[in-house]
Amino acid sequence: MASITDVARLAGVSIATASRVLSSADYAVSAPTRQRVLEAATRLDYVPNALARGLHKRQVPVVGVNVHDITDPYFSEVVRGVEDRAGDAGYLVIICSSDRDPEREVSYVRLLRSMRAGAVIFASSGFDDPAFNAALDNHLAGMRAYGAAVVHLSPHARREPEVSVDNAGGIAAMVEALVALGHREIAFLAGPTSLSVARQRLEGYRDGLAAAGRPFDERLVEHGGLSQVGGAVGVDRLRARGASFTALCCANDLLAIGALRRFEELGIHVPRQVSVAGFDDIEMAAMTAPSLSTVRLPLRELGRRGFDYADHVLSGEQPEHEVMPTSLVMRESTAPPPAATMTAQLPTHTANARGVPA
């Protein structure tokens, strides 16, 4: 492995001069000298040692991305966006799947700090654990101390994200679209209140209702895990309670797909008897039967902007916070409501005309 010393020797210059031409900064070096150094470098197959360089620069061109789980399509898409831009800037991207485990997250950030990563991007939303947040803030402060950029793509410990997606606006738009289709009673399958993203989406549901002039009725809301099982359970709970609705809006696609499956099992036709809408537009959303109407999030772009933001911070700027718009994707799972409301048509255990729990 040739070092800069070998290159300098072969070129017959000092290592300072060799460094000046090799480090690609535009130092004033005479053309012939520069030439000789470049030749020596290629001859020796010189590859600079990023560790040595980083030791001096106090950081290395590496960006860590904190995700819930890299196999979750939401996050792999965001990571890919980060990678798109990182590649252009000569940065390597490290993935940190914390499985929403505060301890793992802290330990990853500590590792990133120890590696003197130039930036961390938090793609997954935070926890409300104070002890954990203190430890995390401590490491983040340590990172900022050596000049690293810290970027959040979702709410994190009460701090506003630097770049984010308009969760509330997206759900609100879907609710309004459902109202425009003629729905008057729209139920909502929310995620767990412990997740800030889920809270934002629930907020969007209220906003959409308000914008459409419809009242908010908490009996039409069910909380649960953001999974298919959660969707099935949500449908059952709503029905057991005799909730009356013609459309079901969900906090994410998995929830919606779970609901779709459950309705199918129950022999309830979507969208003829009930409309179902998701959120995220994961790949699977286009493949279900019926295909899912949902809200598309510009995830890859979110990742790109996240890196750009970090890049700007690294060059000493103070970039603007940014909220990226979502877009509606109406497919087969939504349609105008049937003449009567669901409970009037469907056999539920305890249903009554107005959806009041029996």
Partner DNA sequence: CTGAAAGCGCTTACAG
Nearer to DNA, 32 or 130 (CB): 32
Contact with its own copies (CB under 8 A): which of 29, 38, 70, 266? 70
Side chain identity at residue 102, one-letter code: P
Which residues in 146-205 contact its own copies (CB under 8 A)?
146
Q: Residue 183 in contact with residue 344, Cβ under 8 Å?
A: no
Segment 74 to 93, residues that bind its own copies, using CB under 8 A = 76-77, 79-80, 83, 87, 90, 92-93
| Cβ at position 238, least distance to its own copies in Å | 23
Query: Measured between alpha carbons, how far is 184 from 232 in angstroms, rounded to an integer?
Result: 22
55 binds its own copies (CB under 8 A): yes
Contacts of 235 (CB under 8 A, 6+ apart): 189, 248, 258, 259, 262, 263, 266
The span from the CA of 129 to the CA of 106, in Å, is 12
Q: Is residue 25 close enough to count as binding its own copies by CB under 8 A?
A: no
The nearer residue to DNA, 22 or 250, going by C-beta atoms, is 22
Q: Tell the smallest beta-carbon distance from residue 356 to its own copies (Å).
A: 35
When asked if residue 115 is in the footprint of its own copies (CB under 8 A), the reply is yes
Residues 51-90, interacting with DNA (CB under 7 A): 52-53, 55-58
How many CB atoms are located within 10 Å of the residue 311 CB?
A: 21
Q: Site for its own copies (CB under 8 A): which residue of 15, 95, 181, 323?
A: 95
How far apart (Å, rounded) are the C-alpha atoms in residues 286 and 146? 45
Burial of 319 (0-12, 13-18, 19+ CB in 10 A): middle
- DSSP letters spanning 306-321: HHHHHHHHHTT--PPP
**Which residues contribute to the site for DNA (CB under 7 A)?**
1, 3-5, 13-17, 19-20, 22-23, 25, 27-30, 32-34, 46, 48-49, 52-53, 55-58
